Amino acid sequence: MQDHHLNSIQSFYQRHLNDMTSKHSKVFQTRFDLHYPSDNSISFHPKQIRDFNEYLKRDLERNYPLPKEDEHRSPGKNHMNKHQVDPRVIWVKEQHKNSSNPHYHCLTLVNGNSKNSSYDIHKRAERQWKNALGIEHIAGLVDHCNRDQSASIMINRNTSDYPVQIADARRQASYLSKSQGKDTTNTLLWRYGGTRITKEKRVNK
């Protein structure tokens, strides 16, 4: 059951990676983790990650400029960019035996011709996790996963090291399906998920 689950996560990611690299000459991949408050003031519910997934995808699609630190709303309309962001969100739930709440390992894939800033991705993730949990303060609950290495990888199929970039992206994504510590309950409900792949014509290059 565990091996099947891990293979399913890897397959889910690979389908998104294949789809994105076939549609866009550049694909920007970014990692982050989502946590619950350590004081257990928020109880886990599967709706929270479902809402976060939808909120972040919509935020990235609209691509409104980020608000200033002391503001709640984005100023103006979306960035003037002929390339669609085409965001993909992938998440995996991890639950440790000694923790009352799970946490989530997350990864986004976007059109690298439109967006190439991990800061932008992380800030949008912070405000949408805050919205999904219904809280005012999010400090420390979104780990940018950039202490030891960059949280993002740019994949450019028009460069000579494209195979290396693909290998690096897969290696980074493999952390989502690491076997140690994963929720091993009998049900697969809400253990991993993300954006659905829809069949579309080839879009921005």
Tell me: pLDDT of 201 over 60: no
Q: CB-based burial of residue 73 (10 Å sphere; 0-12 exposed, 13-18 middle, 19+ buried)?
A: exposed
Can you tell me the mean pLDDT for 67-82? Answer: 60
Residue 102 in this model has a pLDDT that exceeds 60:
yes
More confident residue, 46 or 74: 46
Tokens 């303060």: give the residue: 137
144-176 pLDDT per residue, tens: 999 888 999 999 999 999 999 999 999 999 988
pLDDT at 203: 47
Instruction: Examine the pLDDT at 95 and tell me if it is beyond 70.
Output: yes
Q: Band of the pLDDT at 3, cuts 50, 70, 90?
A: very low
pLDDT score at 82: 66
Q: What is the mean pLDDT of residues 61-71?
A: 80
154 Cβ partners below 8 Å, 6+ apart? 26, 27, 28, 29, 112, 116, 165
On whether the CB atoms of residues 29 and 173 are closer than 8 A, the answer is yes
d(CA 98, CA 167): 34
CA 40 vs. chain centroid, Å, equals: 24
3-class SS of residue 92: strand
* Choice among 71-80, 139-148, 152-161 with the minimum mean pLDDT: 71-80
Contact predicate 172/82, CB 8 Å: no
- Taking the whole predicted model, whether its pTM rises above 0.75 is answered as yes
**Domain range 2-65+81-194, CATH architecture:** 2-Layer Sandwich (3.30)
Q: Which residue has the higher pLDDT, 57 or 203?
A: 57
Query: How confident is residue 186, by pLDDT bands cut at 50, 70 and 90?
Result: very low
Mean pLDDT of the chain: 85
Instruction: State which amino acid sits at residue 141.
Output: L
